[in-house]
A = this chain, B = another copy of it.
Amino acid sequence: MATLKDVAAKSGITVTTVSRVLNNRGYISDETRKKVYAAMKELNYQPNEIARSLSKQKSTTIGIIVPHIDHPYFASLIRYLEIEAAKNGYKIILCNSQGKFEKEIDYLEMFQSYRVAGIILCSSSVDIGKFVSLHIPVVSIERPVDVGTTSVECDNYQGGVLAAKHLIEHGCKYLIHFSGIENEKMPADDRCRGFLDVCEKENVLHKEVECKADNYVSMEYHSLIERVLKDNPLVDGIFASSDLIAAQVIQVARKMKISIPEELKIVGFDDVNIASLTSPTITTIHQPIKEMAHEAIQCLIKCTGHSVVPSKIQLPVSLVKRETT
């Protein structure tokens, strides 16, 4: 692989001057610049980014931790994070914690060793307070806020409100909400609060069903849904806290010969591609994933090199009407 020295030898110019051309430092004549570029091109020279990072003690890499790379929500989020990072000249290192605490710790330490420019945490449970003291900006997306981090969320409460109102307006008399994971405090829990507040205010029969961590990790909800539908034959409206769950409600209802939307109406959450790919398509709460990714990356870039300022960025949601209601 060609080095700076090779470029200097080829162009007949000193190493110092070649380095000044590369780093755009000081006055360089057009003629010299052209000679250096010609030699670089001929030798297929690539500046060594590892050396550059070292001299700057900082890379242009952003570390991202997600719990499930192939969950449709995270797949969509990663897509937009990568696009936003690339727009700003940053690369992403993607890590999958599989929801495991130890893996998250390992990855966070790795990011520290790599002198990443910042970290985006979409995973659950690590106390990231110590990273704050190391001046690595950390932005979390849809997870509980730690002291000293920035959190990007959608308006989960409003999402729950919109879902419940929509089902009630469409004549539902008995609503069930498949909510977040039991014993885990997440911003998504506010979806349930919004749902419950509307049901109570409108005096509509309702029930919350908490999912298990196992359901979340395996992305498998069928048996839970079947049990709930059998135990509650009068249910006519379901608000699922993800499109993934909503898709499985459709499947179970079909098996039980419950027609959608005639006998059972369903509202999902996220508005990821699965919501448009099921039959019938899923009415859902649109989470502005693209905009959340944009805010998270912008926020990281602003923080780079400075202490992290505690703050929260909340973006609005909206209801997308499709065929399940």
Residues in B neighbouring A93, C-beta threshold 8 A:
61, 91-94
Q: Which chain A residues (69-113) contact chain B, with CB distance < 8 Å?
A: 69-70, 72, 75-76, 78-79, 82-83, 86, 91-96, 98, 103, 109-110, 112-113
In-complex Cβ contact of A70 among B51, B75, B219 (8 A): B75
Residues in B neighbouring A59, C-beta threshold 8 A:
50
| Residue A227, interface by CB 8 Å | no
Indicate with 1 or 0, residue by residue over A258-298, a CB within 8 angstroms of chain B CB atoms. Answer: 00000000000000011001111100000000000000000
Q: Which residue of B lies closest to A115 (CB)?
A: B50
Residues in B neighbouring A281, C-beta threshold 8 A:
251
| Residue A201, interface by CB 8 Å | no
| Residue A48, interface by CB 8 Å | yes
Indicate with 1 or 0, residue by residue over A100-134, a CB within 8 angstroms of chain B CB atoms. Answer: 00010000011011110000000000000010001
| Residue A176, interface by CB 8 Å | no
CA distance A109 to B61 in the complex (A): 15
In-complex Cβ contact of A251 among B1, B114, B277 (8 A): B277
Q: Which chain A residues (44-78) contact chain B, with CB distance < 8 Å?
A: 44, 46-51, 53-54, 59, 61, 68-70, 72, 75-76, 78
| Residue A250, interface by CB 8 Å | yes
Q: Which residue of B lies closest to A243 (CB)?
A: B277
Known contacts A70-B273, A110-B91, A250-B279, A79 near B50 by CB under 8 Å? no
CA distance A130 to B44 in the complex (A): 10
Q: Can you name 17 A-B residue pairings with CB atoms under 8 Å?
A: A46-B109, A48-B113, A49-B115, A51-B54, A61-B93, A68-B79, A69-B79, A70-B75, A70-B78, A93-B94, A94-B94, A244-B277, A251-B278, A251-B279, A254-B280, A274-B277, A278-B279
- A69-B75, A72-B75 are known; give 14 further A-B pairs, CB within 8 A: A44-B134, A46-B113, A50-B115, A68-B79, A82-B96, A83-B96, A86-B96, A91-B95, A92-B94, A93-B94, A219-B273, A251-B277, A251-B281, A254-B280
